[in-house]
Structure 1
Amino acid sequence: MAIDQDLLKVISSIDSLDDMNHFFEDIFTPAELDDISLRWKLLKDLHNGLTQRKIAEKYGISLCKITRGSKILKNKDSAVLKVLNS
């Protein structure tokens, strides 16, 4: 499923972190916000060289969840990798 282009435009137009935080709280459930925050944290940890096992221990999650993030970072065309490298 593709992300709605209008939604992406709206998100990119928000210039205040406080406003973006409120917008995200309005459209996402607390569980969805937790999931996306965890995904970002584990991606940063992987990028910083933490092992998958250490990340699993740190957040109390399975290695399977971390494997997806590892695959993302192995893709040289990954947008996440470009952001983390900048």
Structure 2
Amino acid sequence: MQIDRLRGKELDDLFEGIMKLENLDDCYHFFDDLCTTNELVSLKQRFQVAKRIKEGQTYQKVQDETGASSATVSRVKRCLDYGSDGYHRIIDRME
């Protein structure tokens, strides 16, 4: 995993904090403080790309519907195929 080189107490603190969020309102408040608008746009876009790829949409349709670049779509697809299964775990739990 690429995140392994970042693993440690500080990242554990962040993830443990995220796991304490109880509802959407908590998420909106926390991520508003934590991230810039551009960071949030990138995060939500990547997640929507992952959901659409898992649904079987074509790269072109994913790009058209999300506004993501071909590079972003390719990167997310690579993560879905060869990553740590993070997208798969969350999307499957949401279904």
1:24-63 matches, within 5 Å, as: 24-63=31-70
Say what the alpha-carbon RMSD is for the aligned residues: 1.8
Q: How many residues align?
A: 86
Percent identity reads 26
The residue that corresponds to 1:10 in the other structure is 17
After TM superposition, the score normalised by the length of structure 2 is 0.79
User: Unpaired segments of 5 or more residues in structure 1?
Assistant: none
Q: CA deviation at 1:77?
A: 4.6
The residue that corresponds to 1:23 in the other structure is 30
User: Partners in 1 of 2:72 and 2:40 — Cα distance?
Assistant: 16
Question: 1:39/1:78 Cα in 2 relative to 1: closer, same or farther (>3 Å)?
Answer: same
Higher RCO by CA contacts (8 Å cutoff, separation 6 or greater): 2
User: Unpaired segments of 5 or more residues in structure 2?
Assistant: none
Is 1:75 aligned to residue 79 of structure 2? no
Counterpart residue type for residue 29 of structure 2: H
